[in-house]
Structure 1
Amino acid sequence: MNKYKVIVFDLGGVLLDISGVEDILGWLDNKIELADFWYLWLHCPAVKQFESGEISEVEFVNSVLSHFKLPIDYTTFEQSYRYWIKGIFSGRLALLEQLKADYQLACLTNTNLMHWPEIVATGILNPLDKHYVSFEMGCVKPDKEIYQKMLDDLDVPAEQVLFIDDNQVNVDTAKALGIDAYRTVGHQALLDLFQQLKII
Protein backbone atom coordinates (compact mmCIF):
# COMPACT_ATOMS: atom_id res chain seq x y z
CA MET A 1 0.00 0.00 0.00
CA ASN A 2 1.32 3.42 -0.92
CA LYS A 3 2.30 5.69 1.97
CA TYR A 4 1.24 8.70 -0.11
CA LYS A 5 -2.03 9.51 -1.80
CA VAL A 6 -0.91 12.81 -3.31
CA ILE A 7 2.39 14.06 -4.70
CA VAL A 8 2.65 17.85 -4.86
CA PHE A 9 5.35 19.54 -6.93
CA ASP A 10 6.69 23.03 -6.95
CA LEU A 11 6.94 24.09 -10.60
CA GLY A 12 9.96 26.35 -11.11
CA GLY A 13 13.20 24.49 -10.47
CA VAL A 14 11.45 21.13 -10.00
CA LEU A 15 9.36 20.54 -13.12
CA LEU A 16 10.15 23.69 -15.08
CA ASP A 17 13.47 25.26 -15.98
CA ILE A 18 13.73 28.83 -14.72
CA SER A 19 16.89 30.55 -15.83
CA GLY A 20 16.27 34.27 -15.58
CA VAL A 21 17.56 34.73 -12.06
CA GLU A 22 21.10 34.89 -13.39
CA ASP A 23 20.20 38.22 -15.03
CA ILE A 24 19.46 39.78 -11.64
CA LEU A 25 22.60 38.29 -10.09
CA GLY A 26 24.59 39.78 -12.95
CA TRP A 27 22.99 43.20 -12.50
CA LEU A 28 24.08 42.93 -8.86
CA ASP A 29 27.65 42.14 -10.00
CA ASN A 30 27.27 38.56 -8.72
CA LYS A 31 27.81 39.73 -5.14
CA ILE A 32 24.98 37.52 -3.85
CA GLU A 33 24.98 33.71 -3.87
CA LEU A 34 22.02 32.05 -5.57
CA ALA A 35 20.62 30.52 -2.36
CA ASP A 36 20.92 33.85 -0.54
CA PHE A 37 19.21 35.65 -3.40
CA TRP A 38 16.25 33.26 -3.35
CA TYR A 39 15.81 33.93 0.36
CA LEU A 40 15.84 37.69 -0.28
CA TRP A 41 13.50 37.29 -3.25
CA LEU A 42 10.96 35.22 -1.32
CA HIS A 43 10.95 37.81 1.46
CA CYS A 44 10.73 40.88 -0.81
CA PRO A 45 7.37 42.58 -0.09
CA ALA A 46 6.71 43.35 -3.77
CA VAL A 47 7.30 39.74 -4.80
CA LYS A 48 4.90 38.49 -2.16
CA GLN A 49 2.28 41.09 -3.10
CA PHE A 50 2.53 40.36 -6.83
CA GLU A 51 2.47 36.60 -6.43
CA SER A 52 -0.53 36.83 -4.12
CA GLY A 53 -2.36 39.00 -6.67
CA GLU A 54 -2.34 42.18 -4.60
CA ILE A 55 -0.45 44.58 -6.89
CA SER A 56 -0.16 45.25 -10.61
CA GLU A 57 2.69 44.35 -12.94
CA VAL A 58 3.81 48.00 -13.09
CA GLU A 59 3.87 48.30 -9.29
CA PHE A 60 5.78 45.03 -9.03
CA VAL A 61 8.50 45.93 -11.53
CA ASN A 62 9.06 49.40 -10.09
CA SER A 63 9.17 48.05 -6.54
CA VAL A 64 11.67 45.31 -7.38
CA LEU A 65 13.94 47.77 -9.20
CA SER A 66 13.91 49.96 -6.09
CA HIS A 67 14.11 47.17 -3.49
CA PHE A 68 17.15 45.46 -5.04
CA LYS A 69 18.65 48.76 -6.28
CA LEU A 70 18.99 47.31 -9.78
CA PRO A 71 20.96 49.56 -12.18
CA ILE A 72 18.59 48.96 -15.12
CA ASP A 73 15.41 50.45 -16.54
CA TYR A 74 11.83 49.17 -16.38
CA THR A 75 11.80 47.62 -19.85
CA THR A 76 15.07 45.72 -19.35
CA PHE A 77 13.77 44.04 -16.20
CA GLU A 78 10.28 43.44 -17.58
CA GLN A 79 11.59 41.72 -20.73
CA SER A 80 13.93 39.52 -18.70
CA TYR A 81 11.40 38.60 -16.03
CA ARG A 82 8.52 37.83 -18.36
CA TYR A 83 10.49 35.01 -19.98
CA TRP A 84 12.07 33.35 -16.94
CA ILE A 85 10.19 30.12 -17.79
CA LYS A 86 12.37 28.27 -20.28
CA GLY A 87 10.42 25.01 -20.59
CA ILE A 88 9.91 21.60 -19.02
CA PHE A 89 12.89 19.65 -17.72
CA SER A 90 13.65 16.64 -19.91
CA GLY A 91 11.72 13.54 -18.93
CA ARG A 92 9.33 15.26 -16.53
CA LEU A 93 6.14 14.72 -18.55
CA ALA A 94 6.89 11.01 -18.92
CA LEU A 95 7.58 10.80 -15.18
CA LEU A 96 4.25 12.47 -14.35
CA GLU A 97 2.37 10.13 -16.67
CA GLN A 98 4.05 7.19 -14.92
CA LEU A 99 3.08 8.49 -11.48
CA LYS A 100 -0.54 9.17 -12.44
CA ALA A 101 -1.31 5.46 -12.31
CA ASP A 102 -0.78 5.35 -8.54
CA TYR A 103 -1.00 8.89 -7.17
CA GLN A 104 -3.04 12.04 -7.34
CA LEU A 105 -0.74 14.76 -8.70
CA ALA A 106 -0.78 18.47 -7.94
CA CYS A 107 1.38 21.57 -8.06
CA LEU A 108 1.77 24.25 -5.40
CA THR A 109 3.50 27.23 -6.94
CA ASN A 110 4.27 30.85 -6.32
CA THR A 111 3.60 32.58 -9.60
CA ASN A 112 1.90 35.60 -11.12
CA LEU A 113 0.08 37.02 -14.10
CA MET A 114 3.32 37.61 -16.00
CA HIS A 115 4.53 34.02 -15.73
CA TRP A 116 1.27 32.08 -15.72
CA PRO A 117 0.65 32.23 -19.51
CA GLU A 118 4.17 30.92 -20.09
CA ILE A 119 3.60 28.09 -17.60
CA VAL A 120 0.29 27.07 -19.17
CA ALA A 121 1.87 27.10 -22.64
CA THR A 122 4.48 24.51 -21.61
CA GLY A 123 1.79 21.85 -21.11
CA ILE A 124 3.17 20.89 -17.68
CA LEU A 125 -0.28 21.29 -16.09
CA ASN A 126 -1.95 18.71 -18.33
CA PRO A 127 -0.99 15.60 -16.30
CA LEU A 128 -1.79 17.27 -12.96
CA ASP A 129 -5.09 16.75 -11.15
CA LYS A 130 -4.92 19.96 -9.10
CA HIS A 131 -3.23 23.34 -9.49
CA TYR A 132 -2.60 25.47 -6.40
CA VAL A 133 -1.46 28.85 -7.67
CA SER A 134 -0.47 31.69 -5.37
CA PHE A 135 -1.89 34.67 -7.23
CA GLU A 136 -5.27 32.92 -7.46
CA MET A 137 -5.23 31.86 -3.79
CA GLY A 138 -4.20 35.23 -2.36
CA CYS A 139 -1.26 33.83 -0.39
CA VAL A 140 2.24 32.52 -1.06
CA LYS A 141 4.83 30.01 0.07
CA PRO A 142 6.41 29.85 2.60
CA ASP A 143 3.40 31.15 4.56
CA LYS A 144 1.43 28.39 6.28
CA GLU A 145 -1.86 29.68 4.91
CA ILE A 146 -1.27 28.45 1.36
CA TYR A 147 -0.35 24.94 2.51
CA GLN A 148 -3.39 24.76 4.76
CA LYS A 149 -5.68 25.85 1.94
CA MET A 150 -4.16 23.11 -0.22
CA LEU A 151 -4.63 20.45 2.47
CA ASP A 152 -8.22 21.53 3.07
CA ASP A 153 -8.99 21.22 -0.64
CA LEU A 154 -7.20 17.88 -1.03
CA ASP A 155 -9.02 16.52 2.03
CA VAL A 156 -6.12 14.14 2.64
CA PRO A 157 -4.13 13.80 5.90
CA ALA A 158 -0.90 15.80 5.73
CA GLU A 159 1.25 12.70 6.27
CA GLN A 160 -0.17 11.19 3.08
CA VAL A 161 1.04 14.15 1.01
CA LEU A 162 4.55 14.20 -0.49
CA PHE A 163 5.78 17.70 -1.35
CA ILE A 164 8.82 18.52 -3.48
CA ASP A 165 10.33 22.02 -3.69
CA ASP A 166 13.73 23.46 -4.59
CA ASN A 167 13.69 26.06 -1.78
CA GLN A 168 14.40 24.85 1.75
CA VAL A 169 12.26 27.52 3.41
CA ASN A 170 9.21 26.17 1.55
CA VAL A 171 10.06 22.62 2.56
CA ASP A 172 10.44 23.65 6.20
CA THR A 173 6.93 25.13 6.36
CA ALA A 174 5.43 22.03 4.77
CA LYS A 175 7.18 19.82 7.31
CA ALA A 176 5.93 21.99 10.17
CA LEU A 177 2.38 21.15 9.03
CA GLY A 178 3.05 17.42 8.95
CA ILE A 179 3.58 17.11 5.20
CA ASP A 180 6.39 14.77 4.13
CA ALA A 181 8.51 17.33 2.27
CA TYR A 182 11.87 17.24 0.52
CA ARG A 183 14.13 19.67 -1.30
CA THR A 184 15.53 18.59 -4.64
CA VAL A 185 17.56 20.61 -7.13
CA GLY A 186 18.15 19.35 -10.64
CA HIS A 187 16.82 16.51 -12.77
CA GLN A 188 18.63 13.56 -11.25
CA ALA A 189 18.01 14.58 -7.63
CA LEU A 190 14.26 14.15 -8.05
CA LEU A 191 14.66 10.71 -9.61
CA ASP A 192 17.05 9.69 -6.83
CA LEU A 193 14.56 10.81 -4.18
CA PHE A 194 11.71 8.88 -5.80
CA GLN A 195 13.85 5.74 -5.94
CA GLN A 196 14.83 6.22 -2.30
CA LEU A 197 11.15 6.55 -1.32
CA LYS A 198 10.22 3.61 -3.59
CA ILE A 199 7.95 5.84 -5.65
CA ILE A 200 9.47 4.60 -8.90
Structure 2
Amino acid sequence: MIKTIIFDFGNVFINLDIEGALQHALNTFKIEALSDEMIAINSLYEQGLMSTIEFLGFYAENFPELSKEELIEVWNFMLKDFPKHRLEFLQNLKKQNTYKFILLSNTNELHINWIKENISFYEDFKSCFDAFYLSHDIHLVKPNTDIFEFVLNENTLKANTCLFIDDNEHNIKTAESMGFNTWHINPNTEDVANLIKTKSHLFD
Protein backbone atom coordinates (compact mmCIF):
# COMPACT_ATOMS: atom_id res chain seq x y z
CA MET A 1 0.00 0.00 0.00
CA ILE A 2 1.26 3.46 -0.94
CA LYS A 3 1.65 5.74 2.07
CA THR A 4 4.10 8.32 0.70
CA ILE A 5 4.36 9.97 -2.71
CA ILE A 6 7.77 11.41 -3.63
CA PHE A 7 7.61 13.90 -6.47
CA ASP A 8 10.31 15.33 -8.69
CA PHE A 9 9.85 19.03 -9.51
CA GLY A 10 11.05 19.70 -13.08
CA ASN A 11 8.94 18.16 -15.86
CA VAL A 12 6.54 16.90 -13.21
CA PHE A 13 5.15 20.21 -11.96
CA ILE A 14 7.13 22.93 -13.75
CA ASN A 15 7.75 22.37 -17.46
CA LEU A 16 11.35 22.36 -18.66
CA ASP A 17 13.04 22.70 -22.04
CA ILE A 18 16.28 20.84 -21.35
CA GLU A 19 17.31 20.25 -24.96
CA GLY A 20 16.43 23.80 -25.97
CA ALA A 21 18.39 25.19 -23.02
CA LEU A 22 21.49 23.21 -23.96
CA GLN A 23 21.33 24.42 -27.55
CA HIS A 24 20.77 27.99 -26.37
CA ALA A 25 23.85 27.72 -24.14
CA LEU A 26 26.01 26.31 -26.92
CA ASN A 27 24.87 29.06 -29.30
CA THR A 28 25.47 31.79 -26.73
CA PHE A 29 28.88 30.47 -25.70
CA LYS A 30 29.78 29.77 -29.37
CA ILE A 31 30.93 26.24 -28.57
CA GLU A 32 30.01 22.81 -29.96
CA ALA A 33 29.72 20.97 -26.63
CA LEU A 34 30.04 21.55 -22.91
CA SER A 35 33.55 20.85 -21.67
CA ASP A 36 34.21 18.27 -18.95
CA GLU A 37 35.09 21.15 -16.63
CA MET A 38 31.78 22.89 -17.29
CA ILE A 39 29.86 19.68 -16.64
CA ALA A 40 31.77 19.19 -13.37
CA ILE A 41 31.15 22.80 -12.29
CA ASN A 42 27.44 22.48 -13.06
CA SER A 43 27.28 19.32 -10.95
CA LEU A 44 29.05 20.96 -8.01
CA TYR A 45 26.64 23.87 -8.19
CA GLU A 46 23.60 21.57 -8.34
CA GLN A 47 24.85 19.88 -5.15
CA GLY A 48 25.34 23.19 -3.36
CA LEU A 49 29.09 22.54 -3.16
CA MET A 50 29.79 25.83 -4.95
CA SER A 51 28.19 29.21 -4.26
CA THR A 52 26.26 31.16 -6.89
CA ILE A 53 29.00 33.82 -6.85
CA GLU A 54 31.66 31.18 -7.52
CA PHE A 55 29.53 29.54 -10.19
CA LEU A 56 28.89 32.76 -12.09
CA GLY A 57 32.53 33.73 -11.59
CA PHE A 58 33.66 30.58 -13.39
CA TYR A 59 31.48 31.35 -16.40
CA ALA A 60 32.37 35.05 -16.39
CA GLU A 61 36.05 34.11 -16.50
CA ASN A 62 35.53 31.71 -19.40
CA PHE A 63 33.07 33.91 -21.32
CA PRO A 64 34.08 37.50 -20.43
CA GLU A 65 32.03 38.95 -23.29
CA LEU A 66 28.81 38.00 -21.44
CA SER A 67 27.33 40.00 -18.57
CA LYS A 68 26.22 38.45 -15.28
CA GLU A 69 22.60 38.95 -16.37
CA GLU A 70 23.23 37.16 -19.66
CA LEU A 71 24.87 34.23 -17.88
CA ILE A 72 21.92 33.91 -15.52
CA GLU A 73 19.51 34.05 -18.48
CA VAL A 74 21.38 31.19 -20.17
CA TRP A 75 21.29 29.11 -16.98
CA ASN A 76 17.59 29.72 -16.33
CA PHE A 77 16.51 29.28 -19.96
CA MET A 78 15.21 25.75 -19.34
CA LEU A 79 12.58 26.93 -16.84
CA LYS A 80 9.16 27.37 -18.44
CA ASP A 81 5.58 27.44 -17.16
CA PHE A 82 3.95 25.78 -14.14
CA PRO A 83 0.35 24.89 -15.11
CA LYS A 84 -1.85 25.81 -12.17
CA HIS A 85 -4.07 22.74 -12.52
CA ARG A 86 -1.13 20.71 -11.19
CA LEU A 87 -1.13 22.75 -7.99
CA GLU A 88 -4.90 22.27 -7.69
CA PHE A 89 -4.49 18.51 -8.16
CA LEU A 90 -1.91 18.46 -5.36
CA GLN A 91 -4.07 20.54 -3.03
CA ASN A 92 -7.13 18.37 -3.64
CA LEU A 93 -5.19 15.17 -3.01
CA LYS A 94 -3.67 16.70 0.12
CA LYS A 95 -7.16 17.39 1.50
CA GLN A 96 -7.83 13.65 1.58
CA ASN A 97 -5.10 13.38 4.21
CA THR A 98 -4.25 9.90 2.94
CA TYR A 99 -0.65 10.28 1.77
CA LYS A 100 2.54 11.92 2.91
CA PHE A 101 4.00 14.21 0.21
CA ILE A 102 7.73 14.70 -0.33
CA LEU A 103 9.46 16.78 -3.00
CA LEU A 104 12.88 15.51 -4.10
CA SER A 105 14.52 17.62 -6.78
CA ASN A 106 17.93 18.29 -8.29
CA THR A 107 17.53 22.07 -8.06
CA ASN A 108 20.11 24.82 -7.59
CA GLU A 109 19.90 28.28 -6.04
CA LEU A 110 19.53 30.27 -9.29
CA HIS A 111 16.72 28.04 -10.49
CA ILE A 112 14.77 28.13 -7.23
CA ASN A 113 15.20 31.90 -7.04
CA TRP A 114 13.75 32.24 -10.55
CA ILE A 115 10.83 30.01 -9.56
CA LYS A 116 10.13 32.05 -6.41
CA GLU A 117 10.13 35.27 -8.46
CA ASN A 118 8.10 34.00 -11.43
CA ILE A 119 5.67 31.41 -10.03
CA SER A 120 3.15 33.40 -7.99
CA PHE A 121 1.81 30.36 -6.13
CA TYR A 122 5.19 28.87 -5.19
CA GLU A 123 4.59 29.16 -1.43
CA ASP A 124 1.16 27.53 -1.78
CA PHE A 125 2.85 24.72 -3.71
CA LYS A 126 5.61 24.26 -1.15
CA SER A 127 3.14 24.19 1.74
CA CYS A 128 1.53 21.04 0.30
CA PHE A 129 4.60 18.98 1.17
CA ASP A 130 5.54 17.29 4.42
CA ALA A 131 9.20 17.47 3.38
CA PHE A 132 10.81 19.56 0.61
CA TYR A 133 14.30 18.52 -0.46
CA LEU A 134 16.35 20.45 -3.01
CA SER A 135 19.74 19.04 -3.97
CA HIS A 136 21.66 22.24 -3.27
CA ASP A 137 20.27 22.35 0.28
CA ILE A 138 21.03 18.74 1.22
CA HIS A 139 24.24 18.39 -0.88
CA LEU A 140 22.99 15.17 -2.45
CA VAL A 141 21.79 14.49 -6.00
CA LYS A 142 19.77 11.95 -7.91
CA PRO A 143 20.38 9.32 -9.21
CA ASN A 144 22.81 8.43 -6.39
CA THR A 145 21.47 5.92 -3.88
CA ASP A 146 22.49 8.08 -0.92
CA ILE A 147 19.83 10.71 -1.65
CA PHE A 148 17.10 8.06 -1.56
CA GLU A 149 18.54 6.57 1.64
CA PHE A 150 18.51 10.08 3.11
CA VAL A 151 14.81 10.50 2.37
CA LEU A 152 13.94 7.07 3.79
CA ASN A 153 15.95 7.65 6.97
CA GLU A 154 14.83 11.24 7.56
CA ASN A 155 11.16 10.27 7.29
CA THR A 156 11.27 6.72 8.71
CA LEU A 157 9.92 5.22 5.50
CA LYS A 158 10.03 1.86 3.77
CA ALA A 159 10.72 2.00 0.04
CA ASN A 160 7.92 -0.41 -0.85
CA THR A 161 5.32 1.93 0.66
CA CYS A 162 6.55 4.88 -1.43
CA LEU A 163 5.72 5.94 -4.97
CA PHE A 164 8.52 7.90 -6.66
CA ILE A 165 7.62 10.05 -9.68
CA ASP A 166 10.35 11.39 -11.97
CA ASP A 167 10.94 12.10 -15.66
CA ASN A 168 14.58 10.94 -15.60
CA GLU A 169 15.21 7.27 -16.42
CA HIS A 170 18.43 7.06 -14.37
CA ASN A 171 16.64 8.35 -11.27
CA ILE A 172 13.82 5.87 -11.78
CA LYS A 173 16.24 2.92 -12.18
CA THR A 174 17.99 3.73 -8.91
CA ALA A 175 14.67 3.99 -7.08
CA GLU A 176 13.42 0.72 -8.55
CA SER A 177 16.64 -1.06 -7.54
CA MET A 178 15.96 0.03 -3.96
CA GLY A 179 12.39 -1.25 -3.93
CA PHE A 180 10.41 1.92 -4.60
CA ASN A 181 7.24 1.89 -6.64
CA THR A 182 7.83 4.26 -9.55
CA TRP A 183 6.21 6.25 -12.31
CA HIS A 184 8.61 7.23 -15.10
CA ILE A 185 6.50 10.12 -16.28
CA ASN A 186 6.72 11.28 -19.89
CA PRO A 187 6.26 15.08 -19.80
CA ASN A 188 5.28 15.12 -23.47
CA THR A 189 2.34 12.75 -23.14
CA GLU A 190 1.51 12.44 -19.43
CA ASP A 191 0.46 14.79 -16.64
CA VAL A 192 0.99 14.32 -12.92
CA ALA A 193 -2.58 15.54 -12.37
CA ASN A 194 -3.73 12.17 -13.78
CA LEU A 195 -1.74 10.24 -11.17
CA ILE A 196 -4.57 8.31 -9.53
CA LYS A 197 -6.03 7.26 -12.88
CA THR A 198 -2.65 6.39 -14.42
CA LYS A 199 -1.42 4.39 -11.43
CA SER A 200 -4.78 3.17 -10.18
CA HIS A 201 -3.44 -0.32 -9.42
CA LEU A 202 -1.22 1.17 -6.71
CA PHE A 203 -4.08 2.95 -4.97
CA ASP A 204 -6.69 0.18 -4.84
Which TM-score tier does this pair reach, normalised by the shorter chain?
A: 0.7 to 0.9
RMSD: 3.2
Q: 1:1-200 to 2 correspondence within 5 Å? A: 3-19=1-17, 21-28=19-26, 44-61=39-56, 73=66, 75=68, 76-82=70-76, 84-100=78-94, 101=96, 102-121=98-117, 122=119, 123=122, 124-186=125-187, 189=190, 190-198=192-200, 199=203
How far, CA to CA, are the matches of 1:144 and 1:65 in structure 2?
34
Alpha-carbon displacement from aligned partner over 1:3-46 (angstroms, at most 9, x marks no partner):
211111100110112236513214446xxxxxxx9xx99x9322
How far, CA to CA, are the matches of 1:65 and 1:110 in structure 2?
24
Tell me, yes or no, if the aligned pair for 2:160 and 2:179 is still in contact at 8 Å.
yes
Q: CA deviation at 1:88?
A: 1.7
Determine helix, strand or coil for the equivalent of 1:106. strand
Q: Which runs of 5+ in 2 are unaligned?
A: 28-32
Determine helix, strand or coil for the equivalent of 1:18. coil
How far, CA to CA, are the matches of 1:98 and 1:187 in structure 2?
24
Tell me, yes or no, if the aligned pair for 1:61 and 1:74 is still in contact at 8 Å.
no
How far, CA to CA, are the matches of 1:80 and 1:54 in structure 2?
21
Determine helix, strand or coil for the equivalent of 2:80. strand
Determine helix, strand or coil for the equivalent of 2:126. coil
- TM-score normalised by length of structure 1: 0.77
Structure with more of its chain in helix, by fraction: 2
Alpha-carbon displacement from aligned partner over 1:71-114 (angstroms, at most 9, x marks no partner):
x7354332232464334224101110122112111110011111
Q: CA deviation at 1:128?
A: 1.6
Q: CA deviation at 1:192?
A: 5.0
Tell me, yes or no, if the aligned pair for 1:164 and 1:182 is still in contact at 8 Å.
yes
Tell me, yes or no, if the aligned pair for 1:6 and 1:104 is still in contact at 8 Å.
yes
How far, CA to CA, are the matches of 1:62 and 1:19 in structure 2?
25
Change over 3 Å in CA distance of 1:129–1:187 after alignment to 2: farther
Q: CA deviation at 1:50?
A: 0.6
How far, CA to CA, are the matches of 1:187 and 1:92 in structure 2?
15
Q: Which runs of 5+ in 1 are unaligned?
A: 30-36
